[in-house]
Amino acid sequence: MDKINVSQPIYTPKESGNSRLAESASGKDTAFTKDAVSIGKKRDDLKLISDPRKLFSISQDNDKEVLNSLVSKITPKGPGEAADLELKPFEKMSEPIMKPSDTGFDSRNIYNMATIRENGVTYMLYRGEDKSEPQGQITGRIGLATSKDGIHFEREDKPIIVPEYDYEKKGIEDPRLIKVKDTYYLTYTAYDGDKARLCMATSNDLRNWQKHGPLFPDFPATGGWTKSGAILPEKVKSGLFKDRYVMYFGDTNIWMAFSDDLLHWTPIMNPVIKTRGDKFDSNLVEPGPPPFYTKDGILMIYNSNGGDGGEHKNYNVGAVLFDKNDPTKIIARTDKPILSPTQDWEKHGYIDNVVFAEGMTVQNGKVDIYFGGADRYIGLAVAAVAPAMQSPIAAGIVKTFNALGKAA
């Protein structure tokens, strides 16, 4: 591997663009249902637990044990090739856990979510779009929803982050969220109608945010187009990037940047993840939820476009494992997607054939991945990684929810 000069960014030209954002900006819409209702509001038929806090409170040590167990198998390949990575299986719920509201800023589409779980509560920041806005003038705003069980969410009526500056005047989207000490760090994509720019905001309470502007005002590798920053929420422990934070970003290939303070970032060299012409990620790759340490390395869930799907290829979810001492070096990568569009509400919506993961939490011996379905709904996929940590009631929630969805 080439040596990296961490004091100077080095770029390799790459064609930019993102089909989903471009189609959204152009005003394309499919299969919009006027009677879409919110599962995120209270539903009496889904009150399954009397006191969810007792069922879902686990320690950070248990969270790490669960994440360490998420990797199922690593199969070596030939010399110079990344190994094949397999994770524990994820089971998707049969129905969205959140749908567009009847009215308001999230009445057309609801997707692009960031999640964090603290003190028995899952907090979700999500992108909402208003059906009252004309086609071609749809603007993304960020809302806040909370849940004790990670399934039934209560939304706040008004968005908590809205466009304020010229660089974000056409929308705010693609949030990723971490917490370091007492500060929440939110990366998001700002769109001005011409370019998408990766931005940063910080908060102490998840409701009041200070914006810090674009992280890379000029990024020659993509003509200034940057998106989707996923930050490892702890400093690298050894190697060239020891005692620095790293972030993966991009939506064609994926690049890496490093920082001493989480606010000022230096991008490096060539992409660290590229598309693969013969795989499910042949067209583009984009970070998913924030990466995290495991005993095997730094694991990141990522999104992709490729494979079969006719004119509009599928958006699938994969995973990649980086060397814990060198976060630019891939040691294993999934040959098959861990999530793909299979259900009707994932195949038909604002943009068809999309499963796009951005949020992840750990609770009660399981890993929850939150994803957008067809850029209109929010879904949940669950991996029961450590069943011994699950109570019988909590272990049955997904099955009960799915049964209710099928009966509805």
Read off the CATH number of the domain in which 331 is found. 2.115.10.20
Residue 11 counted as domain residue = no
For residue 350, count CB atoms less than 10 angstroms from its CB and return exposed for 0-12, middle for 13-18, buried for 19 or more.
Answer: buried
Residue 337 has pLDDT above 70, yes or no: yes
Residue 209 has pLDDT above 60, yes or no: yes
170: left (phi over 0), alpha (psi -120 to 50) or beta: alpha
**27: Cβ–Cβ under 8 A, 6 or more apart, which residues?**
134, 135, 136, 137, 138
For residue 255, count CB atoms less than 10 angstroms from its CB and return exposed for 0-12, middle for 13-18, buried for 19 or more.
Answer: buried
**88: Cβ–Cβ under 8 A, 6 or more apart, which residues?**
69, 70, 71, 72, 367, 383, 384, 385
List the structure tokens of 110: 């609801």
Residue 342 has pLDDT above 90, yes or no: yes
List the structure tokens of 80: 């110079």
Residue 10 counted as domain residue = no
Question: Rounded to an integer, what distance in angstroms lies between the CA atom of residue 185 and that of residue 168?
Answer: 18
Residue pair 279/300 in contact by the 8 Å Cβ criterion: no
CB atoms within 10 A of CB 325: 15
Residue 325 counted as domain residue = yes
Residue-number span of the structural domain to which 349 is assigned: 19-407
Residue 14 counted as domain residue = no
Query: What does the pLDDT look like over 123-153, one tens digit per residue?
Result: 999 999 999 998 888 999 999 999 999 999 9
Pairing of strands 326-333, 83-87: parallel
Residue 9 counted as domain residue = no
Q: What are phi and psi of 94, to 5 degrees?
A: -75, -20
Report the first-to-last Cα separation within the chain, whole angstroms.
Answer: 55
Residue 2 counted as domain residue = no
**8: Cβ–Cβ under 8 A, 6 or more apart, which residues?**
none
Strand order in the sheet with 171-180: 171-180, 183-191, 196-203, 209-214
List the structure tokens of 160: 């908590």
Q: What is the pTM of this model?
A: 0.84
Question: Rounded to an integer, what distance in angstroms lies between the CA atom of residue 123 and that of residue 113?
Answer: 10
Q: What are phi and psi of 129, to 5 degrees?
A: -130, 140
Report pLDDT for 61: 64
Residue 59 has pLDDT above 80, yes or no: no
Query: What does the pLDDT look like over 283-329, one tens digit per residue?
Result: 999 999 999 999 999 999 999 999 754 455 899 999 999 999 999 99
What's the one-letter identity of residue 197?
R
Count of structural domains, the chain: 1
Q: Provide the 3-class DSSP secondary structure of residue 46.
A: helix
Residues of the chain with pLDDT > 90: what percent?
Answer: 70
Q: What are phi and psi of 72, to 5 degrees?
A: -95, -40
CB atoms within 10 A of CB 205: 8
Q: What are phi and psi of 66, to 5 degrees?
A: -65, -45
Residue 270 CA, chain-centre distance (Å), reads 23
Residue 106 counted as domain residue = yes
Residue pair 190/112 in contact by the 8 Å Cβ criterion: no
Q: What is the mean pLDDT of the chain?
A: 84
Residue 174 counted as domain residue = yes
Report pLDDT for 33: 36
